[in-house]
Amino acid sequence: NAGVTQTPKFRVLKTGQSMTLLCAQDMNHEYMYWYRQDPGMGLRLIHYSVGEGTTAKGEVPDGYNVSRLKKQNFLLGLESAAPSQTSVYFCASSNQGEAYNSPLHFGNGTRLTVT
């Protein structure tokens, strides 16, 4: 059972380039999330989705866009990468129902470096 799968695992971008991170889950979860993890700051929520076709902003949404065209996929886009977006990005999903008290299932992360 795959759970939450993130691609790619590593990426190096130059400032101003664009890219899309893909998250796929096979647990039929309604809720999906994108977090970034930075040293000393824990995880911060970028965007999330409560169902297919819906997205919402989290704590640090600027510079990112997301789409949830299919229930199992949640894409995170960087239109014009900046060095401040160097981070480890985690996708997570949770069960249908009361997402605020459901544990999150995480992927293994994407390490992004912007030079």
Partner 1 sequence: AQSVTQLDSQVPVFEEAPVELRCNYSSSVSVYLFWYVQYPNQGLQLLLKYLSGSTLVESINGFEAEFNKSQTSFHLRKPSVHISDTAEYFCAVSMYNNNDMRFGAGTRLTVKP
Contact 48, 61 (CB under 8 A): no
> Which range of residues in 18-26, 65-73, 79-87, 100-108 is near partner 1 by CB under 8 A?
100-108
**Interface map 26-65 toward partner 1 (x if CB under 8 A):** -----x-x-x----xxxxxx--x-x-----x-xx------
Contacts of 45 by beta carbon, 8 Å cutoff, 6+ apart = 33, 34, 35, 58, 59, 60
Residue in the block written with tokens 């590593």 = 10
Closest approach, Cβ 16 to partner 1, in A, equals 29
Locate 79 and state its tokens: 């239109």
Q: Which residues bind partner 1 (CB under 8 A)?
A: 4, 31, 33, 35, 40-45, 48, 50, 56, 58-59, 90, 92, 99-101, 103-104, 106-109
